[in-house]
Structure formats: C-alpha cells, structure tokens
Structure 1
Amino acid sequence: MEWFTDADYWLGRLLFQRGLAALYLVAFLSVADQFRGLIGEDGLLPVPRFLASVRFRRAPSIFRLHYSDRFFAAVVWTGAALSAAMAAGAGDLVPLWASMLMWALLWALYLSIVNVGQTWFAFMWESLLLEAGFLAIFLGNGDTAPPVLVLWLLRWLLFRLEFGAGLIKLRGDPCWRDLTCLRYHHETQPMPGPLSWFFHHLPGPVHRAEAAANHVAQLALPFALLAPQPVASAAAGFVILTQLWLITSGNFAWLNWLTIVLAVPVIGGPATAGALGLPEPPHFGAAPAWYEGMVLAVTATVAVLSYWPIRNLLSRHQVMNASFTPLHLVNTYGAFGSVGRVRDELVIEGTDEPEVTDATVWKEYGFKGKPGDVRRLPRQVAPYHLRLDWLMWFAALSPAYAGPWLPALLLALLDGNPAVLRLLRHNPFPHAPPTFVRARLYRYRFTTWHQLRSTGAWWDRTLLGDYVPAVTKAPMERETGIS
C-alpha cells in the first residue's frame, strides 16, 4: 500500500519520539522521587490498601501480581532507563518489532503506576502521556517511513486536547468571553513560576490579547491542524508558540512540553520542507504486512473509542478531563473552565510545646513549589511534577479535595515519617516530630511594584482562619484509623 507511509514526515517523527521518551523519563524520575511518601507502604495512600478495595478491571496494573516498595522502585527505574535509551535513539537501532515492544513496555509500566496512583496521578497530563505513548508504539522506526494513519491519530489527539480546552473555557467562566480571565490567572494558577509575578502586572490590554490569542489557538487552529499542508504546519507552529508562552508564565508539569511534542509531527510535506530547508528523507524499506495490519487495527480501535470524547465535546455538560477506559486510550481533555479571582493557600504549622496556648510558637513547614514564604520567588518546576504541592492547591479550594490524604499528611508530620518529610522543602523539626500540628488558610496576593521594592516580598498574605485546628497524634490516629 503506497499510501500507507509518508517519508516527508520522518524528521517530525524522530523529534516526536525523542521528545516523548524524554518526557517519559521526567515522569518516571518524578515518581521515583515521590512514590514512597505518596503511595508507598508507609505513604499517605498506600498502594496495597488501594488494591485490596478496587477490582482489576477498574485499575489493571502489574502491581496486582506483587507489591513492595522495592519492586515498585525496580519498575520505576526500569522505565527511567528504557526512557533514557529511547531518547538517545535506541528505538532506531533495533528491528521494527523490537522497537514496538520497547515502546509498549514503557506504556505498560507507566500505565501500571498511574492506575495505582489514585488522586496523586489523576492529572490530565498523566492520561495524555499514556495516550501519546500508546500511539508511539505504532509510529515505527528507522526501518520504515512514518505511517500516515498514525500521524493522523496524533493530530486527532492534539485536536481533542486543544479544542476540548477551548470549548470548556467558552462554555464556562464568563471572564473567558469578556477576555478578562488573564487578569487573575497568573496569580491564582495552581503553581506560579518565577515570571508569573511579572505576567500578572502586564497592562490590561495585554491580558485581553492573551485571552483572545488563547481562543484562536484552542478554537480555530485545531481545525487548521487538519487542513492540507502547509496550513497544518503553520497551525502547529502557532500551537508551539502559545505553549512556550504558557511555559514561561507558569508550571504545568509536562503538559505544555508534551503539547509541543505532539505538534512537531504535524510539520511536514514537500512545501513545508522546502520553506524550512529541512533535509531530504532517508531511504526507507517497505512496511511489513503484519505492521500494516496492526496499524489498521489500532486506527479502527481509536475510531470506535472516539465516540465518547466526541459526544463529550458536543455536550453542553462537557466534562473537563476524563478517561473512558482504564487503559487511558482515547481521552477527553480541558483546563481552566473556571478561573479563581482570589488565591487561598493552606499553610501547615507545628509546635513542640506540650500545650497549646495563646503564647504558643508555631513553626511553618515549607513546600518545594507552592507559595509559602512570602519573600521566596516562585520556582521553575515544570516539566517536573510536584504532586503534593498541586493537591495542596486543590485542598485550599475546597475541603472535598483533601479527602483522606490531608489527615494522613498531618499524622505523618506528627510521626516524623521520613518518606513524607522528603516531599517537603523544609522541616522545622529536624530532631524530633512536633507535638501539635495545624493547617491555616491564608489569602495570598502578588505584591505591587512598590511593595516588592520596599519589602522584597513577592506575596502579601492575610490570615482567613483555621482550616484544621491544632491536633495531636492520638486523636489523628483515631480519626484516620492509621497507627
């Protein structure tokens, strides 16, 4: 089948595969660094407890066969090593079937982690990485030219990602329709970056232009991605530029980088190659018949599974992020259907005094990414993902988001749990755990230019009240059932 492949997209495929493998590596490394405190045997939401209460069909995972922290670490580091090898080009040094098995193993390992990760792994970029990783299995390697059908499946994924995010905004918060959302977003987003303060203080017309450009990028350009070349390539280039803007203004784990990686294989075709001065494609062999059959089967499967995200896109009750199968194959995406006007933050404090009085001295725990110390410049974290910091932002929005993990976190601090303490930047009780802990709710605002110059503070904060009043170990054990 001569139509089956298109050699003009060879460079886009190569960059996509190397970039995707690099993001797999970031994802595995972030898991390796955090899993013991989050879902390990002594973590906040232990995997064995989760597996005992959830059936296999809801959460397929190799950890159904066996779980221990040591085995989990072995799986994670296997994924990290394989990701590094694929990023270095190992997939092009082996036969096609072997390359496909390597991509499939990466996908299966990360799927196994996500499916036992519970709320810590319920972010849209986890499903996005898995869906892109699944399609990468069938994109081929240096033995054959890129298959056209898989290239179109990647465009369909990028279309759903961008158009879904655009629709949820248009249907959601009215500030998107009157172009005022960006007046608030840079300050109230989950994890501001080092430039977010400056973005927040841009003039009002620039914020309106940001919102308008977002509508163009997410509501109009997705259709241009499906147009003939070179229109599709130009649309992909604009998507890349908008994602770079988002990268500089905030921290969204690997979401923006993966969106860029997905846009890269859209760029191609003779006209685009000539305009950009791209090198000529190398010589490729014919695609094996078994490979063609697998690509056709996968394309048909994605077409069938696309019914649910299409129905969701057309619904007035659009869901923002959802996976319709436990394999995270064809998902629906979206972000910031509503934008907060104010920023509230949870601040956790402890004391080693035997009783709590009005004179008690409380010491604050420091988190790695989320705002705390008002004089600390927000850090650049992405593409790394600080899961606890993100959930703290959600918990400040509503106690419903804190669920079972916030009491477990407070008890872990009272116990001096080393795995959990490693998730934090600063432990004010390095020698012995505190006798009491509490969580307080503060209203955070970016300072003005004058305040920054005079005080050196990036944030101004006002106490709203207690979120969790002072508690000690025994009551927390009774509440959580953990000892």
Structure 2
Amino acid sequence: MSWDWFTDPGYWAARLAFQRMLAAIYLIAFVVAANQFRALIGAHGLLPVPEYVRRVSFRRSPSLFHWHYSDRFFAAVAWIGAAVSATLVAGLFDSAPVWASMLAWAVPWALYQSIVNVGQIWYGFGWESLLLETGFLAIFLGPADTAPPVLVLWLLRWLLFRVEFGAGMIKMRGDQCWRDLTCLYYHHETQPMPGPASWYFHHLPRPLHRIEVLASHFTQLVVPFVLFAPQPAAGLAAACMIVTQGWLVLSGNFSWLNVLTITLAVSVLDTSILRVPPSGSVELPFWYRILVILVTALVVALSYRPARNLVGRRQVMNYSFDRLHLVNTYGAFGSITKVRHEVVIEGTDEPELTTDTVWHEYEFKGKPGDPRRRPRQIAPYHLRLDWMLWFVSLSPGYGATWLPKLAEKLLAADKATLKLLRHDPFEGSSPRFLRARLFRYRYTTWRERKETGAWWVREPEGPLLRTGTLGPEGTLLPVRDA
C-alpha cells in the first residue's frame, strides 16, 4: 500500500509557522493563568477551585485539580505549561522523534485543559475552547523534519470554517443591524474592551461602517467554502481571513481569538515556494499514520452535532459538545449593544458617610474608567476580570455570585485582587466603605476631544452594588448612604 497521499511537503513552511504561532499563544495563555488565578479561582479567590471540584465531578470537568489542589500546585501547572510552550516557540522539538514531538504538544494541551475545566465563568470564553481544539490537532502535525499529514491539515481547515461560518451565521440570525448593515455604527464604541484605535474606527464615515459589515459577511459566509477548493483559491481565502482578522486586532481587544484565527488561516497557505524541509526527511512510523487516521475519524464523528448546529435554527455559539473540547461551536456578537455602560467601583476611607464624602475610584487595566485615559492595546493578553465587568454592565446577574466577594476583597485590601487593578487609590490600605455604580459612557466627538483631551463622556445612572463595609466576619455589610 502506497502512503504517498498521507503527507504534503508543500505545507511544510505553513505547518512550521502555524506551530510557532500556536505555541506563542499557549505561552500567553499560561502566563495569564499564572498571573490571575489567585484572585479569581485560587483557594481564597472569588470562585475557588476547591469549592468547585467538591460539587462537580471529574467526568463533567476533567482536570488534574480533582486529585489535588493548592495554589502552589496550580502555579506549578501554569508555569510548567508556559515553560513547555516556550520550548515549542524556540523549536526545541523540531528534530525530535515523532513520539517525542507528540508528547511535547500534548503537555500544554492537557495542562490547559485542566485549567479551563475548573475555571468556571472566568474561562467560559469561546477562545478557550478554540485554543484547546486547535492544540489537540497540533499534537498530530508531526515534527519539522517530516512533511505534515494531509488529514490533519484538512481538519484545521474544517475548524477554521466553523469559526468563520459560525460567526457569520449567528450574526445573520441575530441582531437586525447585521442585516441592515448598521451594527458598526455602535460596535466600536460598545465592544467589551476598546483598543487605542477604536475611537478612530468609531468616527469613520457611516458608509465605511456599512462596507465593514459587508466585508465581514462576505468573509464569514462566502469565503469559508473556498477553503475546501484547490490551491491557490484556498490560500487566497485564508489570506482574506487573515486581513479581516488583522482589522479586528486593530479595532479592539478580543484576547487571542483573532490571533488564533489568523494562526489557523496560516496553516492553509500553500507555501511550496518556500519549501525547505531538511534533507533526508524522516520516514513516518506506521503506528503514527494509523493514529492520525483514527483521530480524523473521531473528529468527523464528533463533528455531527456542531455541523447540525451551524445549519439549525436555534444555533448556539461558543459551546462544547464534549468534555475535552475536541470539536466545538463558535460565534460572537449575534446581538450588538447600542449603549455602553461601565461599572465604576469607588471607595472612601472616611470614618462616616456624609453628603460631602469624597469617593476615590479604582482603575482597571483594560476597561474604560477615567474618561481622559486612552484605551490600551491588551490583546492577545486576556484581562478576565475586566471582561466579566463588561458583562455585569449588561446585566447585574452576571456578577451575582462574585461581585459582592470582589467588594469584600477590595475592602480588605487583598493583595492578589489589587494586582488585577491598574490603580489602587488607597495604595494598599483598606478603605472604610465601598460602592459600585453604573455609568453611561460614550465616545467624545472630534470637537470634544480637541477641547477637553478626553476620550469618553460619562454620566452616572445609579447604584449597582449598595454601599457597604466589612462586617465582623469579613463579609460585606450594607450600610445606609448619607
């Protein structure tokens, strides 16, 4: 039996670029986990892992932390994942035996799986599943001194198709503004975390906003089908996706979603003109070929429900049909928020509340706060607390289980929590009282920007969390405002 069909040397360089980019995203994801877990899901965090694994079985959330949890152990898992990812970025396994290369790629996948499955709402974003699904397929791509297997390359195209087409379909089935081409009149202003250029994108002429929407529809609803065409058509489709995803990187902060989508698109590029595989390319072992065929069959079987979801009337987005996130559904912004609200948390160290009490505002690293502060470029780094506060601004129910705990942590000047902030107005000391208010934000006009230097105009709309202080047991005790 001839195995000539099994690999394609024309994608050698594309595979190498894909692996480097994916490893870099893994590295960022593990650093994010290491830097933020203590305050969010640590033993004394807002939603502690130990409490979660006591009520949720291993079968429902496969994770190393079902067998043991401590903050030190979690940190070790995160930093080991970061270290292995760094070796993959550096290409230290490029010439390893096939089994060693597979093991090296399986380690970050298994470790990040363990983190995501106990991360609760903090890890409920679509790009977590996307990283895991992409990482699982990367295990079977083989080391650099082998030609990449065709079946895995096609599975990566199928994944990219679902990411783009799923996002396009959820838009067409969702908000009317996607169909009348007006969603980007609002989106650059109301997106979860604007970037430094978002203000300028918002102020583009409205006809350009309509062109943006049309380009999005074309890239997500038409171009994905071209991924399955012969080259160079498939490569041109991938290049189109790379351009549109780069546009999204410039216009906002969506963690590593856009960079990872670009990474998937890179795997589709026919780089035969750059083909420079090592001389004497290593022969792939028979067991590996059989394993790739079995994995392909598994992914095809698991694709039934995600594929049905794509064409079903009740399409769900960012959902995993299996516990290991092997084949998932994707999509975002089926509906667009047309008015921006922000949660503003304030404290005071005055001993009593009066009508003259001076309140001091906590500043977060990414989300809008001080109207004069320009939005920052955060992505592909992911500020999980900032993102969840955006959801709270849409509906307070998103923070029902953890927002009062956040207030308690700030009142106690918890060091791990304060590390998630950009500015603590009390410089590590405990305030006496704390409150959270909801503000209406909008971008300044060109004239307002020139006259005031501000990026935002904001107005208070009312309380979100009642003014409180720490009770005798360290719990939040509501008090009456002056």
The normalised TM-score by structure 1 is 0.96
Give the secondary structure class of the aligned counterpart of 1:340. Answer: coil
Give, in angstroms, the shift of residue 279 of structure 1. Answer: 3.8
In structure 1, what residue type is equivalent to 2:198?
Answer: S
Count of aligned pairs: 474
Trace 1:72-111 onto structure 2 (pairs within 5 A). 72-111=74-113
Give the secondary structure class of the aligned counterpart of 1:58. Answer: coil
Corresponding residue to 1:153 among 146, 152, 155: 155
In structure 2, what residue type is equivalent to 1:113?
Answer: I
Give, in angstroms, the shift of residue 308 of structure 1. Answer: 1.1
Counterpart in the other structure of 2:376: 379
Q: Deviations over 1:409-444 (max 9, x none)?
A: 011111111111111111111252111111100000
Give, in angstroms, the shift of residue 195 of structure 1. Answer: 0.2
In structure 2, what residue type is equivalent to 1:249?
Answer: S
Q: Distance in 2 between matches of 1:390 and 1:397?
A: 11
Counterpart in the other structure of 1:390: 387
Counterpart in the other structure of 1:113: 115
Counterpart in the other structure of 1:473: 470
- Give the conservation status (yes or no) of the 8 Å contact 1:445–1:460: yes
Corresponding residue to 1:201 among 200, 203, 222: 203
Give the secondary structure class of the aligned counterpart of 1:92. Answer: coil
1:323 aligns with 2:352: no
Give, in angstroms, the shift of residue 286 of structure 1. Answer: 2.7
Q: Structure 1: any 5+ residue segments left out of the alignment?
A: none
- Give the conservation status (yes or no) of the 8 Å contact 2:348–2:360: yes
Give the secondary structure class of the aligned counterpart of 2:267. Answer: helix
Give, in angstroms, the shift of residue 181 of structure 1. Answer: 0.5
In structure 2, what residue type is equivalent to 1:258?
Answer: L
Corresponding residue to 2:444 among 437, 444, 447: 447
Q: Distance in 2 between matches of 1:337 and 1:431?
A: 41
The normalised TM-score by structure 2 is 0.96
- Give the conservation status (yes or no) of the 8 Å contact 2:469–2:476: no
Counterpart in the other structure of 2:348: 351
- Give the conservation status (yes or no) of the 8 Å contact 2:98–2:142: yes
Give the 4+ runs in structure 1 shifted more than 6 A.
none
Give, in angstroms, the shift of residue 476 of structure 1. Answer: 9.1
Counterpart in the other structure of 1:130: 132
Corresponding residue to 1:139 among 129, 138, 141: 141
Q: Distance in 1 between matches of 2:429 and 2:246?
A: 44
Moved more, 318-327 or 190-199: 318-327
Counterpart in the other structure of 2:403: 406
Give, in angstroms, the shift of residue 356 of structure 1. Answer: 1.9
Counterpart in the other structure of 2:424: 427
Give, in angstroms, the shift of residue 280 of structure 1. Answer: 4.4
Corresponding residue to 1:438 among 435, 439, 443: 435
Going by fraction, where is helix more abundant, 1 or 2?
1
In structure 2, what residue type is equivalent to 1:236?
Answer: A
Q: Distance in 1 between matches of 2:221 and 2:283?
A: 38
Trace 1:249-268 onto structure 2 (pairs within 5 A). 249-268=251-270
In structure 2, what residue type is equivalent to 1:355?
Answer: E
Q: Distance in 2 between matches of 1:91 and 1:334?
A: 34
Counterpart in the other structure of 1:185: 187
Give, in angstroms, the shift of residue 477 of structure 1. Answer: 5.2
Q: Deviations over 1:89-116 (max 9, x none)?
A: 0121311100100101110000001111
Percent identity, please.
64
1:246 aligns with 2:248: yes
- Give the conservation status (yes or no) of the 8 Å contact 2:188–2:198: yes
Corresponding residue to 1:164 among 163, 166, 189: 166
Q: Distance in 2 between matches of 1:361 and 1:32?
A: 36
Q: Distance in 2 between matches of 1:465 and 1:449?
A: 28
Give, in angstroms, the shift of residue 378 of structure 1. Answer: 0.1
Cα distance change of structure 1 residues 279 and 4 upon mapping to structure 2, 3 Å threshold: closer
Q: Distance in 2 between matches of 1:221 and 1:444?
A: 36
In structure 2, what residue type is equivalent to 1:115?
Answer: N
Give, in angstroms, the shift of residue 358 of structure 1. Answer: 1.4
Q: Deviations over 1:283-311 (max 9, x none)?
A: 42332110011101100100110011011
Q: Distance in 1 between matches of 2:89 and 2:171?
A: 35
Give, in angstroms, the shift of residue 43 of structure 1. Answer: 1.1
Counterpart in the other structure of 1:289: 286
Counterpart in the other structure of 1:298: 295
Cα distance change of structure 1 residues 393 and 431 upon mapping to structure 2, 3 Å threshold: closer
Moved more, 111-120 or 283-292: 283-292
- Give the conservation status (yes or no) of the 8 Å contact 2:184–2:209: yes
Give the secondary structure class of the aligned counterpart of 1:57. Answer: coil
Q: Deviations over 1:317-360 (max 9, x none)?
A: 10021011110100000010001111000000011122222111
Pairwise CA RMSD: 1.3
Counterpart in the other structure of 2:38: 36
Corresponding residue to 2:223 among 221, 224, 227: 221
Q: Deviations over 1:214-235 (max 9, x none)?
A: 0011000100111111100000
Give, in angstroms, the shift of residue 64 of structure 1. Answer: 1.3
Give the secondary structure class of the aligned counterpart of 1:41. Answer: coil
- Give the conservation status (yes or no) of the 8 Å contact 1:95–1:143: no
In structure 2, what residue type is equivalent to 1:99?
Answer: S
Give the secondary structure class of the aligned counterpart of 1:463. Answer: strand
Moved more, 278-287 or 76-85: 278-287
- Give the conservation status (yes or no) of the 8 Å contact 2:344–2:361: yes
Q: Distance in 2 between matches of 1:477 and 1:391?
A: 24
Cα distance change of structure 1 residues 431 and 110 upon mapping to structure 2, 3 Å threshold: closer
